Amino acid sequence: MQKCFQNLFKDPVNHSDLRYFGTYKNGNWDTGILRSMLNEWKVIDGIPYFNSDNEGDQFSLDDIDSWVEGGRFKRRWQNKGNKYMSNNVYSWLCKQVATLNLPIMEISCGPGLGLLPDIITMNPNVNCLATDACSSVVLEWNKFISDKDATENISFASFDTTNMPIHSNSIDVITSYIGLSSIRCPGEDGMKGVNETYRVLKPGGYLFTIENTWKDRKAIHEVFDLWGRDCWYRDNELSWHDKFQKANFKIIDEKLQETRVLTPQDNELGEIAYRFGIEIGMEYRAYILRKV
């Protein structure tokens, strides 16, 4: 954990301060524990783990194998700076973040590492903290990056985006690529992650995000009916625009990034929709938001 992120952390259970006891490498945390009055959280290879695996995706050993042996991480890392850059809105958003030149925290970074690889290509000096509830995601990305391309500027942490072990008003910039859309338990109104993101940002801090929305409610219900499963799609949730406003964010800019059809590669619903020949439309929108 780089120095610039070491003062961010608090206990996610009792909200008290945490102190690091352990070894350092070049001033960065290496291996030890973060201790509050009541709890202890492990830090291994510089990564704090806040026991959040149940809140994230449940990846199988085959999934993990596909990231490492199957080359998914390698492709993402080697293609950084060009994978999505042909999309003007995607590259515009990354450029806005890169030029700010402030420390960045990516939420629910997932196996794609969110926007970070592309931002880093535009500004290799920027300090980044990549986070995900799933411990394997951050552990494997950290191993991959230290082995293949020792970039000292990326730190990792494993925690739940809906209950961040991060002090209020402490983060300059948060980035997310489908990070808020992917939260497994976002609360009844879908606001938990958005509210938490607002809480941890400094006043004046920015959230740069691309989030998706599924269109075609009728098609989604048809797929669930044919599948014979209870529909977990929440029709009555607010749009991302309205959720951001409800959380008190100022919307600085909003652009449509992409529209496309849900595919079998996206998720199980995409597989089933494909099997029944039903198309479910999706829309990706990019936002620049500010805590005022």
Ligand X SMILES: C[S@@+](CC[C@H](N)C(=O)[O-])C[C@H]1O[C@@H](n2cnc3c(N)ncnc32)[C@H](O)[C@@H]1O
Residues of this chain that interact with ligand X (CB under 6 A) are 55-57, 108-114, 132-134, 137, 160-162, 177-179, 182-184
Classify strands 40-44 and 28-35 as parallel, antiparallel or unpaired.
antiparallel
Q: Which is nearer to ligand X, 34 or 164 (CB)?
A: 164
Min dist. Cβ of residue 2 to ligand X (A): 20
Q: Which is nearer to ligand X, 225 or 268 (CB)?
A: 268
Min dist. Cβ of residue 126 to ligand X (A): 17
| Residue sitting closest to ligand X (CB) | 112
Q: Which is nearer to ligand X, 35 or 143 (CB)?
A: 143
CB atoms within 10 A of CB 2: 18
Min dist. Cβ of residue 266 to ligand X (A): 8
CB atoms within 10 A of CB 124: 10
Q: Shortest CA distance to 289 belongs to which of 206, 169, 172?
A: 206
The answer to whether 103 and 4 have CB atoms below 8 angstroms apart is: yes
The answer to whether 194 and 243 have CB atoms below 8 angstroms apart is: yes
The answer to whether 183 and 192 have CB atoms below 8 angstroms apart is: yes
Q: Which is nearer to ligand X, 48 or 56 (CB)?
A: 56
Min dist. Cβ of residue 289 to ligand X (A): 17
C-alpha torsion sign, points 159, 95, 151, 147: positive
Min dist. Cβ of residue 256 to ligand X (A): 19
Q: Which is nearer to ligand X, 5 or 32 (CB)?
A: 5
